[in-house]
Amino acid sequence: MTAISIRGLVKAYGAKRAVDGLDLDIETGEVFALLGPNGAGKTTTVEILEGFRTADAGEVSVLGSDPHTANRLWRNRIGIVLQTSSGLDLLTPREILASTAHTYANPRSVEEVIAAVGLQEKADVRIAGLSGGQRRRLDVGLGIVGRPELLFLDEPTTGFDPQARRDFWGLIRTLASEGTTILLTTHYLDEAEHLADRVGVIAGGRLLALDTPANLGGRASEEATVAWLEDGERRTLRTATPTLEVSRLADRFGGEVPELVVSRPSLEDTYLTLIAPHVTQDDEGAPAATTTRKVPA
């Protein structure tokens, strides 16, 4: 079953093609992470899928409907966690969750959602008094209170401390294990690695790579690096057979190899290599996506 199907999607703003012929299928029950530099077309793509923007060309189907013409019944089946939510300061989490739940046909209980996002102690406190991480968890609560089949998460853990991120990942895995299809955009590669069944990298409005986090960009088959300390010097060796090399080293040292490290390219290394041709240094020195259409095959 396909939850989301994208064929030849194009969206231009003036002369710039933010999305430039994107093809992608996301299966029901899958956790899919969309990665890409700022300006890559992630947000535009996701907002078209959410029905907030219209496509210039191409075909998009989300839960069997065109999002732009979809009705209330379709909205009832999806949940959206937006990038920011202010304007709720005067209410309490329980009040806004209850009010949002009422708009859905078969919502989760408000108590259940409050517990799931860990806001029991803040449920009846004005939202103005919540920390950034607590607000973000409330956003997620608002996204899941309608018991969605498909959940959109736009950079969900930006501004979280490490413990809050771990807790949040646990929540997402629980939702996924219950069969929720999740489309996630994130800047954190470790987040994608922890959560996603598959990862898609886009830049310049096109899909550059699509695979499991472990295999993205041929990661699994890349040579490993073995490093150790010998005669007071750091030695490194690139090899396709790291186990064999470590075993040889162990024989040579007669047991423990000092400061042994075996590493493969991290997802971040692979990702940065993939997007490198699409990122330039602009005048301020900050990385920005290029608008070039020269995408390598």
Partner 1 sequence: MNAVALGFDRTLLELKMYSREKEAVFFSFLFPIMMLALFSVIFGDSMGGDSQMSAAEYFLPGMISAGILLTSFQTMAMSVAAERDDGTLKRLRSTPMPPVSYFLGKVGLVVTTALAQQVLLLAVAKFAFGVDLPDTAARWLTFAWVFGLGAFAGTVLGTAYSSLASARTVGAVVVAPMLILQFISGVYFSFTDIPEWLKQVASVFPLKWIAQGMRSVFFPDDLASMEMAGAWEHGRTAMVLGVWAVLGLVLCVLTFRWFKRGTT
Strands (DSSP E) contained in 247-290 are: 261-263, 279-281, 287-289
Q: CA–CA separation, 29 vs 197, rounded Å?
A: 10
Distance CA 238, CA 80 (A): 45
In angstroms, what is the minimal distance from the CB of 55 to partner 1?
13
Q: Which of 2, 70, 83 is nearest to 43 (CA)?
A: 83
Does 227 participate in binding partner 1 (rule CB under 8 A)?
A: no
Report whether 11 contacts 20 (CB < 8 A): no
Using the contact rule CB under 8 A, the part of the chain among 20-28, 87-95, 173-181, 191-199 near partner 1 is 87-95
Among 10, 12, 91, 237, binds partner 1 (CB under 8 A): 91
The Cβ-side half-sphere exposure at 257, using a 13 Å CA radius, reads 19
Contact criterion met (CB below 8 Å) for 60 and 2: no
Please identify which residue in 142, 153, 202, 209 interacts with partner 1, judged by CB under 8 A: 142
Choose one: 71-79, 194-202, 234-242, 265-273; the region binding partner 1 (CB under 8 A): 71-79
Residue 91 or 260: the one with the smaller Cβ distance to partner 1 is: 91
Of 84, 212, 263, 280, the residue at the interface with partner 1 (CB under 8 A) is 84
Q: With binding defined as CB under 8 A, does residue 235 bind partner 1?
A: no
Per rule CB under 8 A, count of chain residues that contact partner 1: 27
Please give the structure tokens belonging to residue 147. Answer: 């018991």
Q: Vertex 207, ends 202 and 213: CA angle to 5°? A: 75
Using rule CB under 8 A, residue 16 touches partner 1: no
**In Å, how far are 33, 120, 145, 191, 198 from 215, measured between CA atoms?**
14, 39, 34, 16, 9
* Window 94 to 123, contacts with partner 1 (CB under 8 A): 95-96, 99-100, 102-105
Q: Spell out, one character per residue from 17 to 56, where the chain touches partner 1: x when CB under 8 A holds, - when not.
A: ---------------------------------x-xx---
Q: Does 88 bind partner 1 (CB under 8 A)?
A: yes
The answer to the question of residue 169 lying near partner 1 (CB under 8 A) is no
Shorter beta-carbon distance to partner 1: residue 40 or 274:
40
Q: Compute φ and ψ for 92, nearest 5 degrees.
A: -105, 160
Q: Shortest Cβ distance from residue 208 to partner 1 (Å)? A: 26
Residues 6+ apart with CB under 8 A from 191: 33, 157, 165, 169, 184
Q: Which long-range contacts (CB under 8 A, 24 or more apart) does 86-90 make?
A: 88/127, 88/138, 89/126, 89/127, 89/128, 90/126, 90/127, 90/128
Among 57, 73, 240, 261, binds partner 1 (CB under 8 A): 73
Q: Is the CB of 126 or the CB of 264 nearer to partner 1?
A: 126
Q: Decide: is 125 part of the binding site for partner 1 (CB under 8 A).
A: no
The residue count of the chain comes to 297
Residues in contact with 137: Cβ distance below 8 Å, sequence separation at least 6, in sequence order: 117, 118, 119, 164, 168
Q: Which stretch binds partner 1 (CB under 8 A): 16-24, 84-92, 185-193, 223-231?
A: 84-92
Q: Judged by CB under 8 A, which stretch of 67-75, 160-168, 176-184, 193-201 contacts partner 1?
A: 67-75
Q: Is 90 in the site for partner 1 (CB under 8 A)?
A: yes
Interface with partner 1 (CB under 8 A): 50, 52-53, 72-73, 75-76, 80, 82, 84-88, 90-91, 95-96, 99-100, 102-105, 126, 142, 146
